[in-house]
Chains A and B, each alone.
Chain A
Amino acid sequence: MTDAPLPSTPAQTVGPYLSIGMTWERGEYVVADDSPGSFWIRGRLLDGAGDPVPDGLIETWQADQDGGFAHAKPDSAGEGFRGFGRSLTEADGTYAIHTRKPGPVSDGEGGMQAPHLDVSVFARGLLHRVVMRFYFGDEKQANGRDAVLSSLPDEARGTLIAAPDGAGGYTLDIRLQGDHETVFFTV
């Protein structure tokens, strides 16, 4: 232990060859394929010209269906629930995460947060990860009470809310720049 804080190591970009080091077998699976209530969240990672980002990575972290976290101990909920997903983007910029809706978690101020995933986005051309959240479009009531969502203007809020895709899953594009730039967080 030291008295003065140690200065943090600076971030650098993942570069174009991130798939060499960051490919995980079944990294997209936060839960098993046949896990009850599981679904895909899919979308595209887009740059400021609206072009796909084919050398990006999406990582997600979330509670299990009871609002517990697989923190400091794997598989807290059984069934291989790691709480964490990782998807490299494809040539057309798409990512895909297979998961379940997280349960309610405290907002630290006596209320509850709407179901959400914390998301890190990495890419060539991003010198540090950027952080966003996925919320769910069919959780209108919970979203309406969520302190983080409520603090955002309407249009900004929409950039974090994944829409039901009609096939049991959800879809949300992530826009790094441009008119509909996603809301990113300092955390």
Chain B
Amino acid sequence: MGTQRVGWPHSLSPMSTSDPDTALPRFRLDPDQTHPPLLSPDYVSTRLRAPLKSPVDLPQRITEVTGPVLGEDLVYEDDADLTRGYACAPAGQRILVSGRLLDGDGRPIPRSLVEIWQANAAGRYRHDRDSWPAPLDPNFDGMGRTLTDDEGRYTFTTVKPGAYPWRNHHNAWRPAHIHFSVFGRSFTQRLVTQMYFPADPLFAQDPIFNSVPEAARDRLIARFSLEETKPDWALAFSFDIVLRGSDATPLEAEQPLP
């Protein structure tokens, strides 16, 4: 972690054998059983949108291991509380959603932008293309933003989103979920995901949730937390987000231990 500008040192000739990039981190690739295959035909929209050619390995150079600093002009004080900003409180079960943004080495990622969006308690998004017959809530827009604190922690106050039908297959319903967008420290760590709620009976028929390799699915399910539940106020759910860790010494890591 530093606050210095990272760039090509102009005093070094490009032909120099010194390589300034060796001081930069390298991020471990996630194991195969982590992310959904892009082509997951049960989720019908992937059939025409998933790239079908094998991706090409891009070496991690300075563009890939750096990333933007975002937030100061994008986050306003009430953005972490989705129940405020309108005349009344929104309808539905008030909840707190909190957790930590970590890298794969367990290091918290502080002062990093977290964006969320979600349906209202009736399962309706405030969006032109959502027109199923569930009510909009004039007191809820479903958008939240915050920066993680110095320990990588974030907290949103919101309402529990409802489930909603979609046209993927007969009688298809999305389990209740909140969309999360996080950046971490580098381009390599960028992640958009969805947080689900415990023991949702809709999991079994949802091709988006089930696109994730089975062993990794529970990482998308928030944990109910009685300890963090606020008496006479709001239920609490906990959801940590883990981004790729870095290899300080990738070559040594491949050597057998003595």
Contacts and interface: CB of A to CB of B under 8 A. Distances in A.
Nearest to A130: B51
A128 B36 contact: yes
Contacts of B125: 17, 20
B36 A187 contact: no
Contacts of A13: 43, 45, 192, 194, 208
A128 B49 contact: no
A7 to B, nearest CB: 7
Contacts, number: 282
B105 A63 contact: no
B237 to A, nearest CB: 15
Interface residues of B, number: 98
B69 A185 contact: no
A148 B193 contact: no
Contact of A83 (B68, B181, B241, B243): B68
Interface in A92-136: 104-113, 116, 118, 120, 122-131, 133
B45 A69 contact: no
Interface string B1-32: 11111111010001111011110000011110
B59 to A, nearest CB: 7
Contacts of B142: 20-21
B229 interface: no
Contacts of A70: 5, 68-69
Contacts of B45: 13, 124-125
Interface string B35-49: 111101001011111
Interface in A12-55: 12-22, 24, 47-49, 51, 53, 55
B61 A47 contact: no
Contact of B130 (A17, A21, A47, A74): A17
A4 to B, nearest CB: 9
Q: Looking at chain A, what size class is its interface with the partner chain?
A: 35 or more
Contacts of B219: 7, 9-10
Interface centre among A47, A71, A184 (most CB of B within 10 A): A71
A116 B48 contact: no
A149 to B, nearest CB: 11
B5 A68 contact: yes
Interface in B185-240: 185-188, 190-194, 208-209, 211-213, 216-217, 219-220, 240
Nearest to A77: B5
Contact of B64 (A8, A152, A187): A187
Contact of B192 (A14, A19, A83, A182): A14
A17 B164 CA distance: 13
A58 to B, nearest CB: 13
Contact of A11 (B1, B36, B217): B36
A5 to B, nearest CB: 5
A67 B213 CA distance: 39
A72 B3 CA distance: 5
Contacts of B185: 72
A75 B220 CA distance: 34
B170 interface: no
Contacts of A156: 56
A161 interface: no
B56 A127 contact: no
Contact of A73 (B69, B127, B188): B69
Contact of A7 (B6, B61, B144, B242): B242
A181 interface: yes
A100 B111 CA distance: 27
B3 A73 contact: yes
A6 B211 contact: no
A152 B56 contact: yes
A22 B181 contact: yes
The 5 tightest CB contacts between A and B, nearest first, are A21-B117, A125-B45, A68-B7, A125-B49, A84-B68
5 contacts: A9-B243, A68-B7, A71-B186, A72-B6, A177-B50
Given A12-B193, A20-B117, 5 more contacts: A6-B242, A9-B193, A61-B67, A68-B6, A68-B8
